[in-house]
């Protein structure tokens, strides 16, 4: 005769109880990670909620496209901080106060903003993160140029939306 094993000694019982339990634990862990990471902001943009729909305010991007604005941000990384120099077409864009935003990949509140004076500024300390993008705009928000961040010293800036 064979001896019967108790229920907790059967591998199938552990599979039947363990897989659903592991799924619940993994789901809770995923939820905690998602809540701690904060909002995801690709390109910071103002949105307007209309009923159940969010609409993107792309007027600044369209203005930059229509007026054929583009440029370069030169970043000289040194031990005493970063030196920033903006080159735009047309050059008159640099005459008004301009802001550069180094966009944090996950959290908008950690973005680093720098005001440029005549197209130049010094960032005393490098950002504590690797930016995902760089956004350049005037203080009034009438135009906006966006560029992908890279380790090169020259970042290309173009409008985020191309007109058709």
139 plus 106 within the same structural domain? yes
30 plus 76 within the same structural domain? no
104 plus 29 within the same structural domain? no
For residue 78, is it within any domain?
yes
144 plus 64 within the same structural domain? yes
Counting the structural domains of the chain, the total is 2
For residue 163, is it within any domain?
no
pLDDT at 43: 63
68 plus 120 within the same structural domain? yes
Structural domain that includes position 19: 7-37
For residue 50, is it within any domain?
no
For residue 98, is it within any domain?
yes
For residue 51, is it within any domain?
no
For residue 28, is it within any domain?
yes
pLDDT at 149: 86
For residue 44, is it within any domain?
no
To the nearest whole number, what is the mean pLDDT of the chain?
84
14 plus 76 within the same structural domain? no
pLDDT at 49: 66
64 plus 30 within the same structural domain? no
Query: In whole angstroms, what is the distance from residue 104 CA to residue 121 CA?
Result: 20
**Is the pTM value of this prediction over 0.75?**
no
For residue 101, is it within any domain?
yes
30 plus 64 within the same structural domain? no
Provide the residue-wise pLDDT of the chain in tens; the chain has 164 residues. Answer: 577 888 888 888 888 999 999 999 999 999 998 888 766 656 666 666 666 666 667 788 888 888 888 899 988 888 778 889 888 888 887 778 889 999 888 888 888 999 988 888 888 888 888 888 999 988 888 888 999 888 888 888 988 877 55
Query: In whole angstroms, what is the distance from residue 104 CA to residue 110 CA?
Result: 6
pLDDT at 54: 65
Q: What is the CATH number of the domain that holds 94?
A: 2.60.40
pLDDT at 18: 92
Query: In whole angstroms, what is the distance from residue 61 CA to residue 76 CA?
Result: 27
């Amino acid at each position: 005769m064979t001896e019967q094993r108790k229920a907790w000694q059967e591998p199938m019982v552990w599979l039947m109880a363990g897989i659903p339990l592991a799924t619940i634990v993994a789901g809770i862990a995923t939820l905690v990670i998602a809540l701690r990471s904060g909002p995801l902001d690709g390109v910071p943009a103002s949105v307007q909620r209309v009923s159940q729909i969010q609409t993107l305010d792309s007027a600044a991007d369209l203005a930059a496209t229509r007026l054929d604005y583009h440029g370069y941000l030169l970043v000289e990384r040194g031990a005493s901080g970063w030196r920033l120099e903006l080159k735009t077409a047309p050059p008159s864009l640099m005459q008004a106060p301009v802001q550069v935003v180094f966009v944090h990949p996950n959290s908008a509140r950690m973005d680093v903003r720098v005001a440029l004076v005549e197209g130049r500024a010094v960032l005393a300390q490098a950002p504590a993160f690797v930016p995902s993008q760089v956004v350049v705009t005037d203080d009034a928000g009438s135009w906006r140029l966006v560029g992908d961040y890279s380790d090169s010293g020259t970042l290309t800036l173009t409008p985020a939306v191309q007109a058709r």
